[in-house]
Structure formats: structure tokens, C-alpha cells
Amino acid sequence: MDLNYVLRIPWNNTLCRNFNPLAQNDNSTTTIKAQCCQAILSLFGVALSQHLKETSPFQLPNLATSSSCLQDYQSKLSSFSLSDNLVSHCFNPLQFVTAPNICARIETSQDWVDQLGKSTSLDSDCRSDLTDLTACASCLRAGNKVQSLLVAADGNQTHAQDCFYFAVLYAAGIVNEFGPESDGVVSCIFGLELNSSVGSASNSHSALVFGLTGAGVAILVISSLLGLYLWYNKKWRRKKNLGFGFDLDEQQGSRPKLRPNTGSIWFKIRDLEKATDNFSQKNFIGRGGFGFVYKGVLSDGTVVAIKRIIESDFQGDAEFCNEVEIISNLKHRNLVPLRGCCVIDDDVNSDERGNQRYLVYDYMSNGNLDDHLFPSSDNQIQKQLLRSPRALLITDWAWSLVKAGKVEQALDASLLRGGDSSNSNPKGIMERFVLVGILCAHIMVALRPTILDALKMLEGDIEVPQIPDRPVPLGHPSFQADGNNFSISPVLRGPKLPPGDTLR
């Protein structure tokens, strides 16, 4: 690249004359260094925009070319008696090498056109002489708009400054008809302060580089604050929906300690491991729903049963915690009290993953409920169920009474009280209920009423139809009777079925 323009452009290098890389970094020194680096970056942008105009790429092809150009640039700056290590302090040669991830995957002017189209606000507002204040302001606004489009296309807010610099290079090298070295481009687009010989107009121009850089920084700050707000709001809503009060426990390292109003405790995993001797097999009780159960002794001596869940239908920790809160509110003599729970994230930085879940119950010393509900084959209750000679279907029993005209016998005596009682139930209503029940349990499914019709019958809106006879089993003695297949089977005329008859 031809860098002789550095000697031709009357740029104000006063800030860089006070530049001392070895000076102690106080506030004023840091400000001077930053302003000097920004000035020589803008000045170097003139060469890059000319390179873009002549060759199409926004950046240099490789590291060797970048290093060579920066060395030549330093020699030009040294002719102004500036520091010999000015460029090496301000720039990294890699920052000027072409790469696809700088801004919206743009590398050449053709990529720019493919991404934004042939005409943007930059093409119309930055074409004229920018020494005019109004024209410069319009170009500045256009640069902001194009920068926003590039950041949106890129999808990464951290590339905002790089996208802005591409907009500067494109406006100076491609759009403006006076060229990158013109006074208007140098003072307005690159934001360089020119010496007074150029005129007072440059002093009143707001530096495009500083202005757009400030705007880019402001956008980044606002975006960061907005993201932080959304993240905090999401966390707050999740905690509010769970109805829990969280106290962060740094020692646990994965989940906060839970103290809901229900009295349940959010146990620490190390406490559960200590209680069960690290879930030793000697403390293994059995397998329950969704996982394994271990016996444990807490630090206060309380004996508990700890279920380690390995198969869960819960989609996330929020749903799991909601269920824990609901269950911990349930109090019944036949329910084992839920003492607490524990959730451990596989990824300690994740708020949603929680594959290791534990439930802590009071230990039941009389054995598990399954043994009582489903005992072994030698259990006396099961023997009685299997050997009972008078098993009976209540629908068959009620059917036989109805067909015999003895509906009243199907009613419990407590349902028919004296007429003087305020709680008495009319006999007709109760008999209607029995008839509706018989009809709904009819062996012929096609003859059963719909739920809507059944409700209307119960409420008395429609009459209960005559109940059709039930077909008897093939080979039943009734088939050898008088030929009336719809007569009542002797089996159904009494309240009990003879042993050996098939139940329907």
C-alpha cells in the first residue's frame, strides 16, 4: 500500500507527541494513549479504504503483509518525530488480516453488496462533499443505520465495533466520490482533526470515528444491561413460581438450599451421602417407583428412607420442585411424610439440568407398603380370595332383584329413612338410581346409555327406559326351556351365583 499520504494530509499529531508507552498509567496518561491510538488507527484507515477501492478486500491478505505495512507506517510516523514504538504499542498485526468472523462474514466489497444490497443509506448520504456540516451529519446517521444492519446480520454484539469500522472503510473507499484522502472524508468519516490550514470547518465536525465508537460502546452497554435484566427477571420469575425462598449455599456448589413454607428441607448431597455411607449396598432397602431406596441416619439421629430417582417423568427442576411442594403439603395417616429433597446438577453452571434427584421420607420400621398390599401366595387373605366358593358380581345380584321386582331390596337400609327425617331420600328417586346403574352396566354395550342421557335420567329430565333382558351363556339350561331366550335365567333369580357358573 502507498502510505505517502501520511506526509501529505495535514493531520494534527499533537496528542501523539505526548505519547510515552513507558509512562505510569494514570487517568490522564491512559486517555492520551487511547486518543493517540485512535488517531493513528483512523489515519491508517485511509490506506485500508484505498486498498478496498483498488483490490476489493477490506483487510490485508496475510500476517506477513500486515506486518510489513505496519513497519512502513511506523517509519512514516517517525518522520514526525513521534515514538518509534507507537505502532507496536497500539496495533496487533493480526487485527488487519482478512478473516470470515470479523463482521457478518464479510471479506470483500462483493460480500458487502451480497449482504446489504447495492444501495443503502450510506451510498446516498456519504457520497457528496462532507466538509458541509449537514452532509457530514447525514453521513453519520447513515453509518449508524448500516452498523445496526451489520450487527443484526452478524448476530454477535461484540462485533459491533468491527462492523462500524467496515462501514467507515466502505464509505471512504467506495461511496464518497472525492476519495479517501479528501478533506471531507478525513475529517468527517475518519474523524481526524486537521491543522488550521485546512480551515475551521474540521474543528466543528464531530469526529465520525469517535462518535460512532461511542455509539457502538453505548449500544453494547445497553445490550449488556438489557440481557442482565432479562436474565435476572427470568430467575426471579422462576423462584416466584416455585414459591420457594432460596439461600445460595456456596459449599454445596450446585443448588441453593430450599426452605419452603411447608417445612420440607432442601438437603445437601453430602449430608445424604454421609447418612447412607455413600449409598452403600448394606443400606439398600429395595426398589421403589422410579428409583432405589436406601436407609440412612441423619446427623441429628433421625432414621430416614432416601429414594434415589433414576427414572423421572419430570422435564426440569422447576416441575420437580413444584411436585415436591404439593406432596409436602399432603398430610394423611396412610401417607409416608415427605421430609425433603435434593437436586444435583450434572453441570454446576446450568440452571435447568438436574438429572440427580433425591426424595427423603420418614423411615417406616414395619416394612414397605408393597409387602402389605401384595403379600406372598401363602398369605391367608389371598387364600381366602382364591378359595371363596361364593364370589359374586354385584351387578348380577342387583339385576336379579330388579327383574324379580324387588328393587327395594337392592337399597341399603340407611338410604331409606322415615319420612319425618330431614335427611330421608324418596324411595322413587333411589330406585331410579338403581335402574340407571343397572342400565349403565348392561352386558350389551350397545344398550348402555350415553353419559349425557344417564345424567338426564338421574336428574329426572327423561324417564328410565325398560331395561332389556341380558343374554344368557350358550349351553345354559334356559336354552332347553320353553324357547324364550329372553326369560330370566335361574342363575339370576337369586342373590348368589352357584359355584362353577361363569361370571359375566
The DSSP element (H or E) to which 453 belongs, if any, is helix 451-459
Short-list 70, 106, 117, CA closest to 91: 70
Q: How far is CA 131 from the centre of its chain?
A: 52
Residue 405 C-beta-side C-alpha neighbours within 13 Å: 0
> What nine digits make up the cell of 185?
472524508
Residue 101 corresponds to which cell in the numbers above? 468472523
CB atoms near residue 444 (< 10 Å)? 10
C-alpha of 457 from chain center: 50
User: Partners of 341 in the beta sheet?
Assistant: 266, 359
Is 160 in contact with 152 (CB distance < 8 Å)? no
For the chain, how are helix, strand and coil distributed in percent, rounded to 5? 50, 10, 40
Q: At what angle do helices 133-154 and 208-242 cross, to 10 degrees?
A: 40
- Cβ-proximal residues to 445 (8 Å cutoff; 6+ apart), any chain: none
Adjacency order of strands within the sheet including 291-297 = 265-266, 338-344, 356-362, 303-309, 291-297, 284-288
Contact 34, 88 (CB under 8 A): no
Q: What kind and span of H or E run contains 266?
A: strand 265-266
Q: Which three cell numbers stand for residue 115?
A: 449482504
Tell me which residue of 391, 402, 432, 408 sits closest to 492, measured CA to CA. Answer: 402
| CA–CA–CA angle 377, 502, 376 (5° rounding) | 5
**Rounded-to-integer distance, Cα 171 and Cα 214, Å:** 19
- Dihedral sign computed on CA atoms, order 173, 174, 178, 183: negative
Residue numbers in the chain where pLDDT is lower than 70: 21-24, 196-209, 236-264, 288-289, 311-317, 345-355, 368-392, 417-424, 472-504
- Using the 8-state DSSP alphabet, how is residue 98 labeled? -
Domains of the chain plus CATH, in order, are 5-222 (no CATH), 257-366 (3.30.200.20), 390-492 (1.10.510.10)
The greatest distance separating any two alpha carbons of the chain, rounded to the nearest whole angstrom, comes to 132
Q: Is residue 247 within 8 Å of residue 256, measured between CB atoms?
A: yes
Measured CA to CA, the distance from residue 391 to residue 385 in angstroms comes to 9
Q: List C-alpha distances in Å: 481 to 108, 255, 487, 488.
A: 102, 78, 9, 11
456 is in an annotated binding site: no
pLDDT digits (tens, 9 = 90+) for 267-305: 888 999 999 999 999 999 888 667 889 999 998 998 999
Indicate the pTM of the whole model. 0.41
Q: Which residue has the cell 331366550?
A: 485
Beta bridge partners of 297: 303
What HEC string does 126-178 produce? CCCCCCCHHHHHHHHHHHHHHHHHHHHHHCCHHHHHHHHHHHHHHHHHHHCCC
The CA-atom distances, in angstroms, between 281 and each of 96, 295, 400 are 63, 10, 58
Residues 6+ apart with CB under 8 A from 211: 140, 191
- In whole angstroms, what is the distance from residue 353 CA to residue 478 CA? 67
User: Beta strands 265-266 and 257-258: pairing type?
Assistant: unpaired
Query: Which residue stretches of 247-287 are H helix?
Result: 269-275
User: What are the residues whose beta carbons fall under 8 Å from the beta carbon of 369, sequence distance 6 or more?
Assistant: 336
**Residue 78 and residue 314: Cα distance in Å, rounded?**
69
The answer to whether 109 and 98 have CB atoms below 8 angstroms apart is no
